[in-house]
Amino acid sequence: MKLNNLPKITTKKKKRVGRGYGSGRGGHTTGRGNKGQKARSKVRLGFEGGQLPLIKRLPLMRGKGKFKSFRKKPLVVNVGLLNLFSKGEIVDLKTLVKYKIIKENDAKKFGAKILGDGELKVSLTVKLPCSKGAIKKIEEAGGKVESKLKTKNEKVKTHIKNKKIKKEKAKRKTKKTKK
């Protein structure tokens, strides 16, 4: 056994600032320098010495789309990557994670969307949202898409349809209660 092979068994305690000279960092100014704002207290984040801060100089965004940039967007998977799958396989979040195209945590958090970059040579069944270009390429390769993204028009139509169904149900309930 040699001295350089011995395990280290000593540990240094953390220096407690401003707890006297014996603490290793104590006494008068305790490592903060002499005088001034930073010697007396912490300066808040974004403080620019009294100058109008950057956050206040920027224009204020108003309206409905104010926080649109902070929304969670789906992960992009290009059609070219789907050539890893075997013929006739179903493509969903689980299989994308299995082939290590996307990470499991990200798949749960953000979801995924297939975009039309690259060429597809294998016929697949895709159960994920796809762009128009991706749908076209998947169908050209002999595959099919079971989950398409709804356009604004389709969303409005389904919304109106759902409203009509709710009204009809409400009418049925009122008829039953009157009898």
Q: Which residues pair with 78 in a beta bridge?
A: 115
Mean pLDDT (10-residue bins), the chain, 179 residues: 88 85 83 90 92 91 84 92 93 94 92 93 93 93 80 65 81 72
Q: Which one, of 117, 111, 112, 122, lies nearest residue 132 by Cα?
A: 117
Q: Please answer whether residues 47 and 38 qualify as being in contact, where contact means their C-beta atoms are separated by less than 8 angstroms.
A: no
* Cα–Cα distances in angstroms (integers) from residue 104 to residues 48, 89, 129, in the given order: 42, 19, 18
Q: Please answer whether residues 171 and 164 qualify as being in contact, where contact means their C-beta atoms are separated by less than 8 angstroms.
A: no
| pLDDT at position 93 | 93
DSSP annotation of 147 reads -
What six digits make up the tokens of 67? Answer: 């926080």
Is the pTM value of this prediction over 0.75?
no
Q: Please answer whether residues 124 and 138 qualify as being in contact, where contact means their C-beta atoms are separated by less than 8 angstroms.
A: yes
Distance CA 125, CA 139 (A): 9
What six digits make up the tokens of 118? Answer: 């690259």
Domains, the chain:
72-145 (3.100.10.10)
Q: Please answer whether residues 46 and 54 qualify as being in contact, where contact means their C-beta atoms are separated by less than 8 angstroms.
A: yes
What six digits make up the tokens of 148? Answer: 């398409």
What six digits make up the tokens of 73? Answer: 């967007």
| pLDDT at position 148 | 59
Residue found under tokens 């996307």: 102
Distance CA 48, CA 33 (A): 20
| pLDDT at position 154 | 64
| pLDDT at position 24 | 79
| pLDDT at position 145 | 92
Rounded to 5 degrees, φ, ψ at 67 are -105, 20
| pLDDT at position 162 | 78
* Cα–Cα distances in angstroms (integers) from residue 176 to residues 36, 45, 65, in the given order: 79, 63, 44
Residue 66: its H or E element: none
